[in-house]
Structure 1
Amino acid sequence: MQLTLNGIQKKEDWKAANIALPTYDIEKIRKNTKENPVWVHFGAGNIFRIFMGGLADTLLSAGEMQTGIACVETFDFDVIDKIYKPFDNLVLAVTLKSDGSMDKKVLGSLTEAYKASPDFPEDCKRLEEIFINPSLQMVSFTITEKGYALKDSSSAISLVCALLYKRYKANQAPLALVSMDNCSHNGEKLQKAVLDTAKEWQEKGSVKEGFLSYLSDEKRISFPWTMIDKITPRPADSVCKTLERSGVENMKPMITSKKTYIAPFVNAEAPQYLVIEDNFPNGRPPLEKAGVYLTDRDTVNKVERMKVTTCLNPLHTALAVYGCLLGYTSIADEMKDCELSKFVHEIGLTEGMPVVTDPGILSPSAFADEVINVRFPNPFMPDTPQRIATDTSQKVGIRYGETIKAYIKKYGTASKLTAIPLAIAGWCRYLIGVDDKGNPFELSPDPMLPMLTQSLRGIEIENPKSYCGQLKTILSDASIFGVDLYKAGIGEKIEEMFIEEIASPGGVRNTLKKYLNTEKSL
């Protein structure tokens, strides 16, 4: 069985392998897209293929859309040459369920695929055709936060700006530019990048003066904010073997020259959330019929805040640092640990929930419950604490600092908190780079590591007397936590927990047991 337009004609073979095929006419959809494109996407990687590609597939299957997505890659052209073209732009989407089963489906919604570079003039010509067509409603992005940096004239933003200028000169038709990258205020970041580029071009006299006004008018060019959430790990060898045993050929994952991990299939968890500010001046596909939440900007912001400060990210960070200290290499395995399982319950449900921002469209308690009981424990999601521990210094201010500030606002102090101070103490203990058995381990990359590790000099594991206030510089730094933790009423508590964690072999485990009262519950 081959993942090509010809290969999927052998429908009985795919059915026998329990792999669903598109029910719509792919060739007709491709013809429609060629003539009247509606949706183009920049960033042709894994999360786009299974998430946005899956949304479009759902709408096509229901007859709610008659066109697919034109895909554009601006960074890693191997993705187009080795994953899109040889497989006729088809995607084999594999959903990894927590019971070990898999849902497998071929998506035919990605109708065109192009390399955005002057080195590929035919591709650029087609992109110009797409952008000047008044039918185009939506340009979406998963180019990572780094993609919004204005490095040079060949950056993704410069290419998009040039295409927008073609549209401006052709008809000044309205359009929505929708960042779907997993970063705070993503629409604002995209808007700033586009407008800064256009301003520079206008100052140089490269574009007509009206272009900047066109881009600045949100009734013509909008930049909706979004919140996206779906864990999409690298393609797993185990999934590849399962597919090949089913008779599907050429499924092997590859690493491109730009270090992209990709395969003809994409594996991901089942839960997914996409919340979009409903601001589309040229109309839009009926995304809500595929499970997308369409709302206002304030609600998007609240949903993101709920996820990042209470229901997911703070729990991930706690599991990351303690997982490294306790020798874990799998988030799912950590959730089988009595202390760590109770720990994330305490951070999210007990301490975070009383001050969470409720967005109204999603239940914070239901979201957190799914994270703790379905998503994190999924043994078929290959995610590691070492990966999540990356750049923790850049995250703790949002992930813990916002709840701490909310407690201060509500109670005058954060001294009621125990699990969040324990998480911060664990991070400080992690920074020593020695696990709970006394073995050294490699710290994950973090821009503040030199300063942080310097602050902790002189501290020795199994020698609590070696602690003489080294944490004070870190815990009082409001630039890290958003607040001085001593003024918040928890600095001394964190120091006490930290001293207990360095006191003896197994000090980390013993400290968790003490503050989480797990020994009493056994």
Structure 2
Amino acid sequence: MNLNYEGIRDSEAWQEAKVRLPRYDVQAVAKATKEHPVWLHFGAGNIFRGFIAALQDRLLNEGLANKGIVAVESFDYDIIKEVYAPHDNLTLLVTLKADGNNEKSVVASIAAGFTTADDFAILQGYFKDVQLRMVSFTITEKGYSLFDMSGNLLPVADADMKNGPQKPVHVMAVLTSLLYTRYKNGMAPIALVSMDNCSHNGEKLANAVKTVAAAWEQAGFVDKGFLAYIGDEKRVSFPWSMIDKITPRPDGEIYKALTESGIEGMAPIVTGKGTYIAPFVNAEAPQYLVVEDSFPAGRPMLEKAGVYFTSRDTVNRMERMKVTTCLNPLHTALAVFGCLLGYTKISEEMKDEQLSKLVRRIGYVEGLPVVTHPGILEPRAFLDEVVNERLPNPYIPDTPQRIACDTSQKIPIRFGETIKAYLASPEWNTDCLTGISLALAGWLRYLLGVDDELNPMTVSSDPLLNELQAALAGIEVGDPQSAEGKLDGILHNAALFGVDLFEAGLADRVQMLFECMLQGKGAVRALLKDYIG
């Protein structure tokens, strides 16, 4: 069996392999979509293929839509050339359930795959089309940034600002140029929907587009009315969203099982830009997408596929519940301690008595009392699913090393917001934040690059890694006194933790816990036993 238009015609073979096939005319839908798309999506990776495209696939299967999605890749063009094109843009989705069963289905809603480098003229044509209603994005948080950490324009963004809308390179300049094409050809309404897993994602997208447009207007590249067009929410909207679904890198065991079932050509590849990707996507079953219902040209009936459409305030509260209380803080705690204790799978950590107790304390004991209730989901039920089903799922090949990436950018939101809530509450004080204090101290211990067995350990990439490790220089595992006075600058850093930990009353405890983990071999484990049980 081969994953392409010709291959899926042999429905009996796929049925024998327990793979669900589309119930609609795939090629007819693709043809209609490519002629006049209603939905474009930037970012052709796993979360799009395994979640977003699968939503539209469901609508197509149920007769609630008659067009699919056009995928656009702005960064790693090899994804289109090496994964999309050989398989007629089809994806094999493998949903991994906690009981060991999995569901396999062919997702055929992606009608075409283009790149911003090679297909810009085609994209311009689509943006002229009044039938285009929405453009969505999963390009990672970095995709929206025009500036480096010092506030200077990135070289590619600087070049785009100076050269105007003719041949842009940065994805935000590409989008702004395409919007200018739409403006010049009738000013039809459109929704631009960031679905990236970052706070206030719609705002980040809007700010980036408006920054480029303002620079081009000042330079005389665009008409004076263009900024007014993209600033009018009745014409161009930037809905906020919250997305949640774990889609790890392709797993070798899944590839092996698919091959044994007779499905050929499923081997993962590593692209020239380092993306590890395959014709299949393996993902967990639980998934959430909450979107601000602001679509001036209309939208697909995605609520029929499980998407929540609601107000911006509700989206913000849902995102806050997930990121500051019920999921992300637990993930970060598992990441740093998992690395220190030699784990390579999140699910294995949840079998660890101390680590399981730690995340339960952070979630149930320290987080829930100050949780932001989103109104559409019960926080305790969401947390129950995370702790009892999602994190322990042994069939999700997710690693603490992956989750530990960019931790400095996550700490102020994932832990700082809860600390702020305690400081603002007359009912609670920070003395009870044992789990959060352990997580913060554990992260600092992790940055030393030595595990609990005193072996050298690779520290995951982080934009502040060099700066933080320089601040910790001279601290030695086995010599707690070497840390005296070394953490003061870090613990005072409100940008790093969301609060000044001295002012929050947590600095002395974090310092003490950190020094305990410097006692020597096994000190991290011993501390967890002492404080968590």
TM-score range, shorter chain: over 0.9
For residues 407-455 of structure 1, the C-alpha deviation after alignment (integer angstroms, 9 at most, x for no partner) is 1111474112211111112122222222222222122222333343343
Matches within 5 A, 1:327-338: 327-338=342-353
1:438 aligns with 2:434: no
1:126: how far off? 2.9
Which residue does the alignment assign to 1:378?
393
Residues 413 and 488, structure 1, Cα contact 8 Å, conserved in 2: no
1:327: how far off? 1.3
1:94 aligns with 2:83: no
SS of the residue corresponding to residue 284 of structure 1 reads coil
* Rounded Cα–Cα distance in structure 2 between residues aligned with 1:341 and 1:504: 23
* Rounded Cα–Cα distance in structure 2 between residues aligned with 1:474 and 1:154: 37
1:292: how far off? 0.6
1:505: how far off? 2.9
Which residue does the alignment assign to 1:359?
374
Matches within 5 A, 1:376-415: 376-411=391-426, 413-415=429-431
For residues 273-305 of structure 1, the C-alpha deviation after alignment (integer angstroms, 9 at most, x for no partner) is 111100000010111111111011111111111
1:349 aligns with 2:364: yes
1:325 to 302, 320, 340: 340
For residues 448-468 of structure 1, the C-alpha deviation after alignment (integer angstroms, 9 at most, x for no partner) is 333433433443333334442
Which residue does the alignment assign to 1:137?
133
Residues 176 and 282, structure 1, Cα contact 8 Å, conserved in 2: yes
1:489 aligns with 2:485: no
Which residue does the alignment assign to 2:201?
186
For residues 192-243 of structure 1, the C-alpha deviation after alignment (integer angstroms, 9 at most, x for no partner) is 1111222222222222222221111010000001111111111122111111
2:122 to 112, 123, 126: 126
* Rounded Cα–Cα distance in structure 1 between residues aligned with 2:329 and 2:375: 21
1:394: how far off? 2.1
* Rounded Cα–Cα distance in structure 1 between residues aligned with 2:401 and 2:331: 11
Number of positions where the alignment pairs a residue of Structure 1 with one of Structure 2: 513
Question: CA 1:450–1:110 in structure 2 vs 1: closer, same or farther (change >3 Å)?
Answer: closer
Alignment-mate amino acid for residue 225 of structure 2 = G
1:197 to 192, 208, 212: 212
SS of the residue corresponding to residue 93 of structure 1 reads strand
SS of the residue corresponding to residue 395 of structure 1 reads helix
Question: CA 1:42–1:492 in structure 2 vs 1: closer, same or farther (change >3 Å)?
Answer: same
1:262 to 274, 277, 289: 277
1:58 aligns with 2:74: no
1:233 aligns with 2:248: yes
1:459 to 448, 459, 475: 475
1:474 to 452, 474, 490: 490
Alignment-mate amino acid for residue 103 of structure 2 = D
Alignment-mate amino acid for residue 135 of structure 2 = V
Question: CA 1:12–1:501 in structure 2 vs 1: closer, same or farther (change >3 Å)?
Answer: same
* Rounded Cα–Cα distance in structure 2 between residues aligned with 1:70 and 1:360: 33
1:504: how far off? 4.1
* Rounded Cα–Cα distance in structure 1 between residues aligned with 2:436 and 2:47: 31
Larger CA deviation: 31-40 vs 364-373: 31-40
1:106: how far off? 0.6
Which residue does the alignment assign to 2:150?
none
Which residue does the alignment assign to 1:114?
114
Residues 277 and 294, structure 1, Cα contact 8 Å, conserved in 2: yes
* Rounded Cα–Cα distance in structure 1 between residues aligned with 2:433 and 2:284: 32
Question: CA 1:464–1:157 in structure 2 vs 1: closer, same or farther (change >3 Å)?
Answer: closer
Alignment-mate amino acid for residue 131 of structure 1 = F
Larger CA deviation: 277-286 vs 419-428: 419-428
* Rounded Cα–Cα distance in structure 2 between residues aligned with 1:347 and 1:282: 43
* Rounded Cα–Cα distance in structure 2 between residues aligned with 1:214 and 1:485: 44
List alignment gaps of at least 5 residues for structure 2: 147-156, 161-167
SS of the residue corresponding to residue 124 of structure 2 reads helix
Larger CA deviation: 465-474 vs 388-397: 465-474
- Structure 1 runs, 4 residues or longer, greater than 4 Å off: none
* Rounded Cα–Cα distance in structure 2 between residues aligned with 1:128 and 1:391: 35
Alignment-mate amino acid for residue 183 of structure 1 = C
Identity of aligned residues (%): 57
1:207 to 216, 222, 245: 222
Larger CA deviation: 205-214 vs 297-306: 205-214
List alignment gaps of at least 5 residues for structure 1: none
Residues 415 and 488, structure 1, Cα contact 8 Å, conserved in 2: no
Q: In angstroms, what is the RMSD of aligned CA positions?
A: 1.6
SS of the residue corresponding to residue 70 of structure 1 reads strand
Larger CA deviation: 235-244 vs 411-420: 411-420
Question: CA 1:458–1:147 in structure 2 vs 1: closer, same or farther (change >3 Å)?
Answer: closer
1:272 to 287, 301, 305: 287
